[in-house]
Structure 1
């Protein structure tokens, strides 16, 4: 027998499963893993469950013919599912959960935005499985569609799964699904139609009912009972034609009026520049009705919106509406990166004004002239002959009100003067913890006016002009000893106030010191012999025993007095110490008149700290550091020696640093407790002992001044003058943010009950951002965006209040407004039924009147609109019509068991979607 080799290509193992079988087996395996085969009946759905309850999604990836698919199981988490499994009934003689949900009308027309959840709206089902391409791939081939539909049908049958299974086909944007559900002797087919052009017979309810009945009775020859109809018409309102319904206009109209008022200058604007409510959507719903009680045809309709038993409203907000306060803050932050100098921005204007400091034609000189009448006798306007001044970016008629607002004391009858100096103590401010300036102080007003200039009056050049004139006025006041208003008294507070406020406080300190020094020049100078707090004997003589008298035996007064040397006479005494006496002589210890502490701003303290750090750590550096720090100590020692001749270091320590004097038991010869210096004071050549040795008895008024007011004032003015525009903006930015947050906090809106908490959270960010001297612009950008976001919410709430509420401030309306703010569909509550309906009807009516005024009567006739002439002008044609038709009918024959049939229809001007559920009896054909 010849052995014939058979090629391998002829061998085929028919026991090997095909790709299609593997795909179906994998679907069945996943269904069993998800524990879906068993039948279950849950409690009936309640109204709003589709929207209010959570949806759960589980997915697995499967492959078929080198194409990856995603199998998703989506179900509604109902309380019965979460609580007790025993509430689930497993029955063979009832309809499946899918068919029971399809007949339930409690969640008709639910608006669901998540992916694939539109199937719940189309069919009313709470649980389903979707097979869709893992990638954005369109399945348009009819053969592939049928293979996939057959696959899920076989998998559903083999796994005994009653959960509806769908296949997503066509283009992804179409949301087109085909599906099937089998079980309990029923096969339900889920079919869909999606057309861009609406057939004429499908535009009205009558045509859809005919189509629905034809589909059910096709090949059956049965007579149907009246179907149940649910309808919803949607109306859109986008154009707010009447000012009655538009938002309140922004509360700030800066520079658009004929005059510039103080009230405009002192506040920041708030509100959206245009209506933040983009559109209002009205849903009018007719729940289940028998088809024989309603007519909706081309010639007549019973479905008028005013006759609808249920109304619900939804609003669409404008995305990222432009808000005035947010724009002010963000635009000002952008200026912080501008590195141009004032000369680069103003050019010849700076040169002209600086070269003519005494020219009263300038705005600030005119401002301050009335405050100092003597100037009018020094310089005469008529005598000055100058060339035409260079005009700045801000015209004089606008600039003068701004300057009088900043410096109201320059006006005879100020319109908005500052409060007293104590009112600008930051400790008493409600915004304690924010390192800026007190509310309505000079820096507060300057920051707000600067924002107006930057936003409305010309941008960067206008801000540069304002700053230039501001510094000119500050210099003018320094030269003429006029205190700067709206700053408050005291030394610069580097802990609680911003750097600009500290600089102005420093200038006020310098002006006060300068006035005191100039006044002292005109006072008669004494010989520094007498002290006002002591008698002549105590001043010129030192008694060995102050209270000694002559003995009673002799009756002769005897008093031994020792006169001070001419070079050692006490001077500069403030008061006698109530307790202490000098250790060596026993005379009273006098408190000396000392120089006041040297005020320093935050940047000066930082410079001092840097100098100390740069000195190093060696012995020479330590000595230098001690010398720099002991200037004030040396001055106080000299004042103490001048007031207390014969005093020693121990006397000074007992007064100046009591903790370094350690008391002992026992009393000295003058009746005081004994004691000794602390260990640190007994270190040889320590700074205290060296300073005491080198100090001379010199009273404070004869010492070299620790604080040179002229030099410090010039340094402060030079600092203000030399700033670039970005640096100016950074100086004002913390206060402007503070003012912006204060403006936001002043808003009242009942619908935003947590507004104070949100403001408090932003305040915490601002407190952190204002602490460092070197500003972090990123932090301020975040705060500005937070403020802008809350401003948009307030503007939206105000706009809705005006449209729907008017003067209605009831608790019910506030709750209604809160729900609308979430941009969800909200039913009109019974308590507001008539009120809200009338306002919405009026809005649509006025919009229709405006539309009729713009178009002719012939052009406005629409075949889609109702033909009832009484209401045609009140509502436009519906933007969308939705119908749900339900029936229970036997299929595929008259002897079959009746099962639910359902059709969902959505009609728009250029869109038609039909989603039908048609059930067939698989037992009784």
Structure 2
């Protein structure tokens, strides 16, 4: 019989093959099992909707479509009271559904609660899983068969692991429609969301919702239903008029009058960054009235009558949301985009626009220095020199003559006395110490470099972008060339050596100013150049410290005169070294007049360090080699070693000139006292390192001739160094200019905002935030340049800093709107309004108010009966824990106009089915 059966005529199905549904079940089960192992701190929280939520997502391929499984969980869970940890009927979702503290989530979506998933706000759940299409998919779950595929898988996995509810997202994500299931050993809860665009009238009030809810409850339920109601009222948008305000620029004033920003001028008023807010900025205010945990017996809410009116509310909160754009932070963001702009200045302004040959042809520098009309010539802003001098080339760019004049006159007020007087403070360095306690590597406040940085940022944002910035930069360098040619001191720049505690731009300007003062002293002998200088030379490193110079006279630089010590007349003496005498002689020991040490800026010091590193361990031998010859082979060593070698030789020659009978021991007693040791009997001798035979100190001493400082070749050529500074500034590209000024601009922006808060007397509300900004900026500004520092990481930190500054500016705008809303100063005191606003910024832009007092009373009186017409959203939450063994039931209804969103969670006993 079996032989007569044709096997080929039958359809064969291999039931041992695993289906796609079973594969997905296994994958989903593995994910749930792995995520259940996540350790979560169980600590008590007051407001559970302020918890931080984390999400873990894994992607699978189902039917050739990417499907994501996301597990949402709060990092802090409430402490729960349980009779027994082995209670199988217990489940975290049941606790969340019945938890009265999780009745209402945030009424408004803000930046602080973006991590709060809509499921958590609708059902109050702290742990749940969502199955949803991958964001790259344009196809959503709309087919009933697909929904059944995933929902059945969710049911199987939930029944097996009994931990968290699993939801399936259907339709477009923006609709926020989910279906879910949660189970434990005996109970099953179905989660449903229904949206009615045109709902029946009964569904918009509590009376109709109670009827729907009771129909879903088992007949055995006799417990009263717990109700919670929340009404949200929207008030009119409040606007605070703070138009754009920029110092010295009239085009931004309102109707020819001074802007409101003049009110906020303080000692930092010369920070030339724009402040104010865009005209469309505004604050939306919402009043939220809540009734939580009341019985259905004591509540009436129908189309004809309602007990839920603002005057009878149990809880009243006020929320603010702002749509604010600040000129200050938007200006900084625009400037931040220049960090990768490698365009040269020639691209925007052409070539040779700052060539000194096309500028002021100096015939007699003394004439320009002493001419009393020189400032009047510059005040005309013709950008030329009268009396036969050629006109400077016009700089191409979007800035017109008037705007360019305003910028330049602001930075160089002493050269343009007919303009508004924005004079510099007298002691830039002292003010920098006072105003920069965080030691940020920026520019001193109200200095030329600080003004230039702020003006460049403003110019980039509002005066032609990179083109305007390049035009202004070249005009600035042109002014510097004029100042250098006329040997005028640079106002707004402190004297002395470049201060390496400041930014590189300020150091370059300090170097130029130092060169000008040196040139004036040297060429015109107008005054003695005084400085305190010391020296302490280390044998191996040749490092200098302090010694004193009382004169800087210059003689013939090209002629060297050498004399025998026995015939040499002492010269170049500054003062006697205490009561010390020359060894083995009764002649006093004199401190010589020496040359100034060579000033260096950060980039030059960095170049010198790199040269030293390239020498490696052989640098000491190389030093010995160059000191063993009468003429140095300086092309074999780094510039840093050259200058230190010259400096040591110069000091030794000056010492021999001042002390013809002096010995090396005498030189060491003055130059490096730590290398002069005395025994217990008071007998002095050189230190052990100085007694090494034929060491470098001895070699240099033998080569040194008695030559006074004023007859030595100069260690520092101010003309060369000044031209180097000007050339350096001229050859920067846009990105390099950005690097030089960004820290100063950020520092100035923070201080400017701080000054506004001080004027409003609310700095104490923001002080810790401002201090945190300054600390972070200090860290960014002092990043070690020798390390491999990620440029993108630095940019990310700066972006984060600007974002935080913008957040604080938004809060200040909220404060001004808050003043208007509360009727200050008529209805509330200054201390009360500060206290309320502090509560608001600490509680996600919300604060509690009382209808019968202060703010609430003022609002109710102002709006009167119109408040009801401003009702935008009603929210009802119905919950009951029915008689065992059915478990809890939950219904949330969100009514917005004619639309109603119903979110239900109803539990049934699986053992009875």
Q: TM-score, normalised by structure 1?
A: 0.68
Q: Secondary structure at the match of 1:576?
A: strand
Query: CA separation of 1:8/1:281 partners in 2, compared to 1, >3 Å: closer, same or farther?
Result: farther
Which of the residues 653, 657, 660 maps onto 1:638? Answer: 653
Aligned-residue offset at 1:74: 8.6
Structure-1 separation of matches of 2:565 and 2:157: 121
**2:876 aligned partner:** 883
Residue 741 of structure 2 is matched in structure 1 by: 732
Distance of 1:8 and 1:281 partners within structure 2: 75
Describe the superposition over 1:825-855 as per-residue Cα deviations: whole angstroms up to 9, x where unpaired.
x56255x864343566589x5xxxxxxxxxx
Give me the whole-angstrom Cα distance separating, in 2, the residues matched to 1:726 and 1:33.
52
Question: 1:911 matched to which residue of 2?
Answer: 899
Confirm or deny: 8 A CA contact 1:339 1:724 kept in the other structure: yes
1:276 touches 1:796 (CA, 8 Å); kept in 2?
no
**Structure 2 portions without partners, runs of 5+:** 37-43, 108-112, 363-367, 529-563, 635-640, 825-829
Query: Is the Cα contact below 8 Å between 2:894 and 2:902 reproduced in 1?
Result: yes
Q: Which of 832, 839, 861 is matched with 1:816 structurally?
A: 839
Specify which of 522, 528, 534 is matched with residue 517 of structure 1. Answer: 522
Change (3 A) 1:508 1:681: farther
The change in CA–CA distance for 1:474 and 1:693 in structure 2 (over 3 A counts) is same
Q: CA deviation at 1:624?
A: 2.9
Secondary structure at 1:444's aligned position in 2?
A: helix
Q: Is residue 580 of structure 2 the alignment partner of residue 580 of structure 1?
A: yes
Contact 2:53-2:72 at 8 Å conserved across structures? no
Pairing of 1:324-339 with structure 2 (within 5 A): 324-339=327-342
Aligned to 1:256: 252
Mapping for residues 471-550 of structure 1, pairs under 5 Å: 471-493=477-499, 495-520=500-525
Report the counterpart of residue 527 of structure 1 in structure 2. Answer: none
CA shift, 1:813, in A, is 1.3
Quote the residue 1:592 is aligned against. 592
Q: Within 5 A, what are the aligned runs for 1:280-429?
A: 280-287=285-292, 288=294, 290=296, 294-297=300-303, 303-316=308-321, 318=323, 322-347=325-350, 350=353, 355-357=358-360, 390=394, 393-410=398-415, 415-421=421-427, 423-424=429-430
Aligned residue number for residue 558 of structure 1 = none
Tell me, yes or no, if structure 1 residue 697 matches structure 2 residue 703: no
Q: How does 1:764-783 map to 2 (within 5 A)?
A: 764-769=778-783, 778=792, 781-783=795-797
Task: Give the secondary-structure state (helix, strand or coil) at the position aligned to 1:630.
Answer: helix
Counterpart position of 2:538: none
1:441 lines up with 2:447 in the alignment = yes
State the match for 2:229 in structure 1. Answer: 231
Q: Report the CA distance between 1:565 and its aligned residue.
A: 11
Q: 1-side partners of 2:213 and 2:75: how far apart?
A: 29
RMSD of the TM alignment (CA)? 6.1
Q: 1:167 to 1:369 in 2, by over 3 A?
A: same
Matches within 5 A, 1:534-683: 568-583=568-583, 585-608=585-608, 624=633, 629-661=644-676, 673=683, 675=685, 680=690, 683=693
- Shift in Å, 1:415: 3.3
Q: 1:734 to 1:182 in 2, by over 3 A?
A: closer
Deviation at 1:268, TM superposition (A): 2.7
**Counterpart position of 2:543:** none
Separation in 2 of the partners of 1:594 and 1:147?
Answer: 92
Provide the secondary structure at the position in 2 that maps to 1:440: coil
2:580 match: secondary structure: strand
Q: Secondary structure at the match of 2:782?
A: helix
Match of 1:175 among 158, 177, 182: 177
Deviates more, 1:452-461 or 1:654-663: 654-663
User: Is the aligned partner of 1:707 residue 2:716?
Assistant: yes
1:738-757 maps to which residues of 2 (within 5 A)? 738-746=747-755, 747=757, 748-752=762-766, 754-757=768-771
CA contact 1:804–1:840 (8 Å) conserved in 2: no
Distance in 2 of aligned mates of 1:447 and 1:118: 46
* TM-score, length-scaled by structure 2: 0.69
Which residue number corresponds to residue 461 of structure 2?
455
* 1:97-176 alignment runs, 5 A limit: 107-111=102-106, 168=168, 171=171, 173=173, 174-176=176-178
Structure 1, unmatched stretches of 5+, are: 37-45, 360-364, 524-563, 668-672, 846-869, 891-895
Distance of 1:508 and 1:659 partners within structure 2: 35
Alpha-carbon distance in 1 for matches of 2:743, 2:707: 45
Which of residues 822, 834, 848 is equivalent to 1:828?
848
Task: Measure how far apart 1:758 and its partner are.
Answer: 1.9
Q: 1:268·1:740 contact (CA, 8 Å) conserved in 2?
A: yes
Q: Computing the radius of gyration over CA atoms, which structure comes out larger, 1 or 2?
A: 1
> Does the CA contact (< 8 Å) of 1:349 and 1:391 recur in 2?
no
Whole-Å Cα distance in 2 between the matches of residues 160 and 342 of structure 1?
67
Aligned partners of 2:134 and 2:359: how far apart in 1?
77
Tell me, in whole angstroms, the C-alpha distance in 2 between the residues paired with 1:662 and 1:180: 87
Change (3 A) 1:313 1:922: same
